[in-house]
Amino acid sequence: MFGLVVVPTPTWYLVLSAVLFSIGAVGVLVRRNPLVMFMCIELMLNAVNLTFVTVGRAMSDINGQAIVFFVMVVAAAEVVVGLGIIVSIMRRRSGVNVDDLTELKG
Amino acid sequence: MISLLAVDPVLNGDLLWTPLLIVVLKVLVVFVTGLVATMLMVWFERKVVAGMGNRIGPNKAGPFGLLQTLADGIKLFFKEDLVPDRADPFVFKIAPFLSFVPAFLSFSIIPLGGDFRGDKGGLVTWFGHTTRVQLADPSIGVLFTLAISAIAVYGIMLAGWSSGSKYPLLGSVRASAQMVSYEAALGLSLAAVILVSKTLSTSGIVIAQSSIGNWNVIATGIVPFFIFFIAATAELNRPPFDLVEAEQELVGGFNTEYSSIRFSLFYLAEFMNTVTMSALMVTLFFGGPQPISFGSTVLDIPLIPNGLEGSVWLFLKTLVFLYTYVWLRATLPRFRYDQLMDFGWKVLIPSSLGWFMLLAAQRLGRNEGWNTIVVTGASVLVLVVCYALLQRSFAVSSKQREAEGSMF
Amino acid sequence: MELFVFVCASVMVLVGALGVIVRKHPVHAALSLVLTLFGIAVLFVAQSAEFLAAVQVIVYAGAIVILFLFVIMLLGVDKAENLQIEPLTGQRWIAGVVGLGMVGLLTTAVVSGSDVLRLRGLGIASSVAGENADANIQQLANSIFSDYVFAFEVTSVLLVVAVVGTVLLARRRTGKGIA
Amino acid sequence: MSIPILTLLVLVPLAGAIVASLLAKSSESMAKNVALVSSIATGLLSVWMLIKFPTGSAGFEFVSKHAWVSEWGISWHLGVDGISLFLVVLTGILFPLVIVGIDPHHDHKQYLVWMLVLESGVMGSFLSLDLFLFFVFFEIVLVPMYFLIGKWGYDQRVYAATKFFIYTMAGSAFMLVGIVATAFLARRDIGHLSFDLIEIAEKSNFAAGTGRWLFVGFVIAFAVKVPLFPLHTWLPDAHTQAPTGGSVILAGVLLKMGTYGMLRFGVYLFPEAAVWAKPVLLTLAVIGIIYGAIAATMQKDLKRLVAYSSVAHLGFIVLGTFALTNQAITGGVMQMVNHGISTGALFLMVGMIYERRHTRVIAELKGIQAVAPIFAGFFTLIMLSSIGLPGLNGFVGEFLVLIGSFATARWWVVAATTGVILAALYLLWAYQRVFHGEPEEANKSFAEITKREAMLLSVFVAAIVFTGVYPKPMLNRIEPSVKSLLEHVESHSNYKQPEIKAGE
Amino acid sequence: MMLAANMFVGPAIDWFKISPLLVMLGGVLLLILAGSLTPQWKQGTYGVVGALTAAGSAVCTAMLWRDLGEGNPSSLLANALSFSKFSLFATFSVAVATLLAILVTSGFLVREGEDGPEVFALILSAAIGGMVMVQANDLIVMFLGLETLSLAFYLLTASSRWRSASGEAGLKYFVLGGFASAFFLYGVALVFGATGSTNVEKIAASLSKDTVLGGSSAMLLAGIALLLVGFGFKVSLVPFHTWTADVYQGAPTPVTALMGSVGKTAAFVALIRVFTVALSSRSDDWRPVVVMLAVLTLVIGSVLAVVQTDVKRMLAYSSISHAGFILVGLVAAGHSASADAGLGTSGALSYLFIYSILVVGTLGIVSVVAGKGDNETSLSAFKGLGKSNPVLAMGMTVLLLAQAGVPLTSGFVAKFGIIRAAVSTESYALAVVAMLAAVIAAFLYLRIMVSMWLSEGAASRDVAATFSVKASIALCVGATLALGFFPSLLLQFTNQL
């Protein structure tokens, strides 16, 4: 209708998710704040979700979406646990920063 | 062809001008309706509360003070826009929009009218196109409202945090905790509605409630409705759940530092939400724009064409809830914070869950052809046992908490 | 038109993702995360996964990021991280190289691999295709409760773990031994 | 044969160890009695076995075979032939002597328990006819030895013990891989998975390359144990730091596990490869002989000197083994026993010196002969045996090795002969420095040999003299087995023993 | 799409065949209910309940094994779980390790005055996760099992609130574990894309059809690589091992035991199953990488172990080295053309079973020596243990020797099985490297033994152990010796795998 009839193929989505995944992974590597590292892990999981949905659609397989549903549950549970741990550390001392956690060095 | 935007969501097919025009028109109508309704709601509330307090209320601007809200709005608009020194400017600025926009969005999926007689199913024909009187009818319908109400938390939370001040922060933390907690109960009572109407789409839910006997308020048993109502009130931060803006404790709550147009956005959002929530309740439990009917007898409002009658019914039904909200505000004292949390977690969530299980058991029994009485008896028995266990565990945990001291 | 949606959503996703890793302040990072999550939700809708889009917003934006913000605000971890100081010499460089390498490899892999995605199964119902608005959800439910019913049950254990675990972390036993 | 005599040889000391370890901590004398009874019983059993052993038999006698890990084709398979016969007897006799004769400084009970475990392991190694079983015993020996050195040794004991353990274990690592590979590769020829030595040796037919690799795997382990140059560096440390009893056992029997293994599991299993590797091994052996001798000459510590002399002596044994002639191998086996006796006795005496003087530094010992003539006499005799004086046991073995090797390894023998001369040099020189001259003040009070010590040493001396004068009974029992071994080698490779005149 | 709700037919459920899982779940629920409905129980009773549950689960598994007999493997619950000797053995292994670890934990909690139901509920949940992983026939089910296991571990690691190292370790474990899970999941997604299924058997079927199809290979290979990275983190292979030492040291000692046994078994069995069943037709692609990882893991694990001064860190690195060993088994199992490839699988499984017992026993003793507060885990804390507590020291010695692979202990049987598998598939060099690494690692065990027996130390440290810990240690030592002397006890089962 606008004269531009380029339709995004699954590849576009897959590349986007690959890039997103990499950004997330780099984030985990460069950031030191556990909360932010944790957010980066969420980015990675989202990239995975996008991949599943895309692949599922490309193959006309609803299971791709079913899997994403489970991944979301896992992500939610992970967050609960992760934040629980962070809070329990914070109750002992303040300022969560991976570099400040130096008791374990070998 | 009915989806999130009432058209093909990603516009894959050929796009014609007429449907587009219809969509634009709908958007305009919904937006304007929303704004006007909010304005009137503010007036309505002030007026009714005043009446209940034996005062007069706004009566200067316009007839019966109807334009008072507009006047206030214009005044606020021209006030200086203050951003506190210690605020996080970017977040501080976008927070009001995060509050205001969701309020409008949830309005978009509410069926605002239509002809539900016979098997028309609320469809109307405009400009040669069959459509619904509703901005969008996504397949995930009610989940959309849940999603939007999830987003609505951000506005309040960020507003409080970005102000860079203690009281707003406390207010916003309270608010978000409250909203997140009650969302669970809200969702569970919604699940009962979905179970009964077998669809997520709002129009589908409305269609399923053809007569009073089919209204979800009755079909789900009255309990989910009450839970929904209470949870919705808490979501709205309306009295008696308005701890967020408890002036006595928190000065003004999350919006203490706001002024001018940004403040008015919060204010509008709150009332907009009230209207939306009332309309939603009507949609979910009271047949929405369906006319009141007993069996095959339909109450028909004279003089109004069938196509518009739905809207009138919706307005009337919603008005009842709006009045109830105002009434509650004028009547009930505020909860204490721990009472609020206890009520949400220990009463609303278990009972909505239990009720949902009961309905599910009934349905399973019906599908499998089991004896209804036995099923009911058994499930009630189970619920009673669960209730006893729950009470026991509350008792034990409170004893333990006394022994151990609380966490924070 | 799908192109338009895709481009907008990808910009949201990428800007958000970059925001997460470059914004100093955790709150800003969290907000960037929300942006990405929305972008993903839009991409879900674009691929006929409406239910997942809704769940995405409810679960991620509505619960997960809220929890993040909660912790950030409640615990006062809101001091900004100084990104000028490198944690380990060269770590950022290495991470950058690793990241670029990953992008390269993964992109090559998916580009060269995506042409083998073949049609199988019954097709995904979207509200576009059928008159039944709930088709997508019903199909999904069928999949979850037949093929993945065991997985579904395992998630319940997973959630139990999360709950019990937080109880464990929150609990304080003052009485040594028998209370 | 109704009594499973070989099984008893392994289990009696083990039973003794278990009983002793279960005794109360305080009852040390009781523990000692238990240890004595079980070790002496083992010794008697071994002697009885020697008597019962049919002279002239070339095959395995007293075989005892029971399934153990049937899933892996592993069995409890023991047997004794001429090659292992005297090593078993040596073990059986040496242990009671050590237990009777040498007391540890502390923790008697534990010491005795470890000694008995060690005896059991050594017996097992010499008797096993199953590759897996052999490896089990070969490895298990490390544990008691580790504790014996580490707990009852001298200043650097932990270092020495660890070095010993790691070196030997690293060697065995290769052997384990070799064993498993052997069994799997032999499976084709045998038809089923089996770790049985005889079955594999007789039926298998490895390709030359494969056999060589496997042989290398085995030989590395044995070379560490022997120790063959250049893998010998653990030995001086272990010997020096070990308690006297440990040193005696280490030199007396443990090192023989390496040379014995080379014969039994190297040459027997991989004849072709043994022939192939001959030059290298002979060279290493000769280097070991000369290097050991030179290094011994340089030592300031008497015990270290004896340790290096062991390196040299064991070089002779390896030389004999890989010369691959009847006489040379027979001589090698003889030498294994002889070295066990004479070096064991030397270590014993060094231990006695240390008990008295609390030093082993040669320079600090002087003129002992003057104050303790009988002691010096014993030392002289044992030393001469070690040098290889004709008429004493050392001569028989060494001479046979040299004569036998001459036909197949002439130039190596020529080089090795210098080792004999060097041995005389360093031992005599050491003797001179320790026993001759005017005793220093500290050595004036050097006590004369006690009755117990004298009795202990007389056993050794008797063996030295008897074997030296009348080696015939030993040779008669060793030779048939050696001969059949070489026949096996000849039939499984293109190697032919050079004709030499019979009747040595 | 006409998918009306009443057309729906759920999969058949054979309740008895999932009874090991159900028993565990019952235990979890019982403990949770007990925790919320009743006041504190008598000390140690929670542990008894947990131990009985694990034992019950083990018994159920044994019964299923017997019933299976020579029967063919099958799958359960809409192909979600596989039901075979392989999965049953691994399940049994997990159950036994759980039982032993619970006994240690019970004594530990009583000593620290922290007895309560939550920890045991978490341990049992972790076991459920582990069992799901080892039985999983579908990568998503496997992932969920993995997450259940991991979440429980994160929480247990952080559960010692009186030690700040515990929380720290929990956080580190959590962040890196989440990172690894994301990799694993992306791998699953790409494999799903390349093969069209997440089901292990369907993947295998799809790949065997397409062996010549070039197009899918890049995506598949990326998927395999990512799966390997994910698994590599979970079983701590070098270079993905960096978390291991910190976490092992920081976690409460019984939890470390649980990680070393249940965690390692579950992750490894899953790894082996994915790579030898689903991806077996691509073994030529992954085997070289696995060989490289195995060598790195063996060597670096052993070398780093030697330089540590804290016993828990030592054991962490030694566990890495052991992981390398097990990986050698995987390499052998990857020779799908060889008739002896099965030896790799059975060897790895026996290794895991034996190692689980060893590690629980060893760390059980460490937890006793660590004393109240769980802090004394440095090497010097073991000084003089041979004098002050010879029985305990003897037990430790047996377990350490077994870890070093000395004959007549179960550890030797384990190593022998792996070497046998490697040799039978002609990976001689790898076998030699593995054995040499074992020798390097032996040095580390010797260091601990030196501390116990050969160094003088503060003799009068209080190292009292409760009955349940003693029982657990005794069981571990007994099993170590029994399996060492009579390997057939184990081999008659693993030979059927």
User: Which residue type occupies D442?
Assistant: A
Least CB–CB distance from B392: residue in E5, E6, E37: E37
Those residues with Cβ within 8 angstroms of residue D8's Cβ, 6 or more apart along the chain or in another chain:
D45
Structural domain contains residue C102:
no
pLDDT at C87: 55
Closest C-alpha to B38, from B223, B224, B319, B274: B274
* Statement: residue E436 has pLDDT above 70: yes
User: Which residue type occupies B74?
Assistant: I
Q: Which of B307, B335, B363 is the last residue of a domain?
A: B335
Q: Does A1 touch chain B (CB under 8 A)?
A: yes
Contacts of E126 in chain C (CB under 8 A): 161
Phi, psi at residue B298, to the nearest 5°? Answer: -110, 130
Residue bearing tokens 């944790």: A38
Same domain assignment for residues B200 and B211: yes
DSSP 8-state symbol, D192: S
pLDDT at E257: 92
pLDDT at E351: 92
Those residues with Cβ within 8 angstroms of residue C85's Cβ, 6 or more apart along the chain or in another chain:
none
Q: How far apart are CA E287 and CA E284, in angstroms?
A: 6
Q: Is the CB of E420 less than 8 angstroms away from the CB of D147?
A: no
User: Which residue type occupies C28?
Assistant: H
Three-state DSSP class for residue A75: helix
More confident residue, E217 or B315: B315
Same domain assignment for residues B239 and B118: yes
More confident residue, B118 or B275: B275
Closest C-alpha to B129, from B26, B283, B265, B37: B26
Confidence of residue E215 (pLDDT cuts 50, 70, 90): very low
Structure tokens at C12: 């949201």
Three-state DSSP class for residue C74: helix
Structure tokens at E340: 């002896």
Structure tokens at E364: 């059980």
Structural domain contains residue B310:
yes
Element (DSSP H or E) covering residue E185:
helix E164-195
Structural domain contains residue B34:
no
Q: For A21-70, how does the pLDDT look when each residue is reduced to its tens digit (9 = 90+)?
A: 988 988 888 887 888 888 999 999 999 999 999 888 888 778 888 899 99
Three-state DSSP class for residue E81: strand
Contacts of C135 in chain E (CB under 8 A): 1, 3
Q: Which of B284, B315, B335 is the last residue of a domain?
A: B335
Confidence of residue B9 (pLDDT cuts 50, 70, 90): very low
* Statement: residue A98 has pLDDT above 70: no
C-alpha distance from residue D357 to each of D368, D432, E354 (Å): 11, 18, 50
Those residues with Cβ within 8 angstroms of residue E211's Cβ, 6 or more apart along the chain or in another chain:
E281
Q: Is the CB of E6 less than 8 angstroms away from the CB of B397?
A: no
Structural domain contains residue B54:
no
Contact criterion met (CB below 8 Å) for E331 and E343 = no
The domain total for chain B is 2
CA B392 from centre of chain: 34
Three-state DSSP class for residue B7: coil
Q: Is the CB of A36 less than 8 angstroms away from the CB of C59?
A: no
Q: For E243-257, how does the pLDDT look when each residue is reduced to its tens digit (9 = 90+)?
A: 888 899 888 999 999
Same domain assignment for residues B278 and B399: no
Q: Do chains D and A touch (3 or more CB pairs under 8 A)?
A: no
* Owning domain of residue B329: 78-335
How much is the mean pLDDT over chain B?
82
Structural domain contains residue B42:
no
Q: Is the CB of A25 less than 8 angstroms away from the CB of C68?
A: no
Q: How far is B47 from chain E (nearest CA, A)?
A: 50
Q: How far is E123 from chain A (nearest CA, A)?
A: 15
Interface of A with E (CB under 8 A): 14, 21, 24-25, 28, 34, 37-38, 41, 44-45, 47-48, 51-52, 55, 58-59, 61, 63-64, 67, 70-71, 74, 77-78, 81-82, 84-86, 88-89, 92-93, 96, 98, 101, 103-104, 106
* Statement: residue B175 has pLDDT above 80: yes
Q: What share of chain C is helix, strand, coil (3-state, %, to 5)?
A: 70, 0, 30
Q: How far is C177 from chain A (nearest CA, A)?
A: 22
Three-state DSSP class for residue C176: coil
Q: Is the CB of E36 less than 8 angstroms away from the CB of B393?
A: yes
Q: For C23-61, how does the pLDDT look when each residue is reduced to its tens digit (9 = 90+)?
A: 888 888 888 999 999 999 988 888 888 888 888 888 888
* Statement: residue D470 has pLDDT above 50: yes
pLDDT at D2: 65
Q: Is the CB of E36 less than 8 angstroms away from the CB of B198?
A: no
Considering just the CA atoms, what is the radius of gyration of chain B in Å? Answer: 23
Same domain assignment for residues B408 and B269: no
Structure tokens at C122: 């019954």
Q: Does B74 touch chain A (CB under 8 A)?
A: no
* Owning domain of residue C3: 1-81
Same domain assignment for residues C142 and C77: no
Q: Is the CB of D181 less than 8 angstroms away from the CB of E423?
A: yes
Long-range contacts, stretch C71-74, CB < 8 angstroms, 24+ apart = C71/A35, C71/A83, C71/A86, C71/A87, C72/A35, C72/C26, C72/C27, C72/C30, C73/B157, C73/B161, C73/B169, C73/B172, C73/B173, C73/C27, C74/B173
Closest C-alpha to E154, from E77, E218, E243, E72: E243
Closest B-chain CA to C7: B10
Q: Is the CB of C60 less than 8 angstroms away from the CB of A46?
A: yes
* Statement: residue B402 has pLDDT above 90: no
Q: For D295-334, how does the pLDDT look when each residue is reduced to its tens digit (9 = 90+)?
A: 888 888 888 888 888 888 888 899 888 888 888 888 889 8
Q: Is the CB of D165 less than 8 angstroms away from the CB of E424?
A: no
Contacts of A7 in chain C (CB under 8 A): 2-3
Q: Do chains A and C touch (3 or more CB pairs under 8 A)?
A: yes
Those residues with Cβ within 8 angstroms of residue D202's Cβ, 6 or more apart along the chain or in another chain:
none
Q: Is the CB of E37 less than 8 angstroms away from the CB of B397?
A: no
CB atoms within 10 A of CB D364: 15
Contacts of E39 in chain B (CB under 8 A): 396, 399-400
Pairing relation of β-strands B129-132 and B123-126? antiparallel
Q: For E123-164, how does the pLDDT look when each residue is reduced to its tens digit (9 = 90+)?
A: 999 999 999 999 998 999 999 999 999 999 999 998 887 787
Q: How far is E39 from chain D (nearest CA, A)?
A: 45
Q: Which of C81, C100, C125 is the last residue of a domain?
A: C81
The domain total for chain C is 2
pLDDT at B140: 79
Confidence of residue B340 (pLDDT cuts 50, 70, 90): confident
Structural domain contains residue C20:
yes
CATH code at position C37: 1.20.120.1200
Domain segments of chain E as ranges: 16-494
C-alpha torsion sign, points E156, E158, E162, E168:
positive
Structural domain contains residue C168:
yes
pLDDT at E144: 93
**b/e per residue B138-171 (b: at least 16 CB within 10 A):** bbbbbbbbbbbbbbbbbbbbbbbbbbbbebbbbb
Burial of D490 (0-12, 13-18, 19+ CB in 10 A): middle
* Cis peptide leading into residue D227 (ω within 30°): yes
Same domain assignment for residues B320 and B391: no
Chains touching B, CB cut-off 8 Å, 3+ pairs: A, C, E
CB atoms within 10 A of CB C121: 15
Same domain assignment for residues C74 and C139: no
Same domain assignment for residues B122 and B244: yes
* Statement: residue C131 has pLDDT above 70: no
Contacts of E406 in chain D (CB under 8 A): 139-140, 142-143
C-alpha distance from residue C15 to each of A90, C10, C11, C28, C34 (Å): 31, 8, 6, 12, 11
To the nearest whole percent, how much of chain E has pLDDT over 70?
Answer: 95
Domains of chain A as residue ranges with CATH: 10-100 (1.10.287.3510)
Contact criterion met (CB below 8 Å) for B234 and B241 = yes
ipTM for the predicted complex:
0.86
Same domain assignment for residues B324 and B374: no
Structure tokens at E449: 């033994």
pLDDT at B408: 43
CB atoms within 10 A of CB D230: 11
CA D368 from centre of chain: 30
Q: Do chains E and C touch (3 or more CB pairs under 8 A)?
A: yes
Same domain assignment for residues B88 and B196: yes
Chains touching C, CB cut-off 8 Å, 3+ pairs: A, B, E
Least CB–CB distance from C49: residue in A53, A88, A97: A53
Chains touching A, CB cut-off 8 Å, 3+ pairs: B, C, E
Same domain assignment for residues B289 and B344: no
Phi, psi at residue A6, to the nearest 5°? Answer: -80, 120
Contact criterion met (CB below 8 Å) for C177 and E114 = no
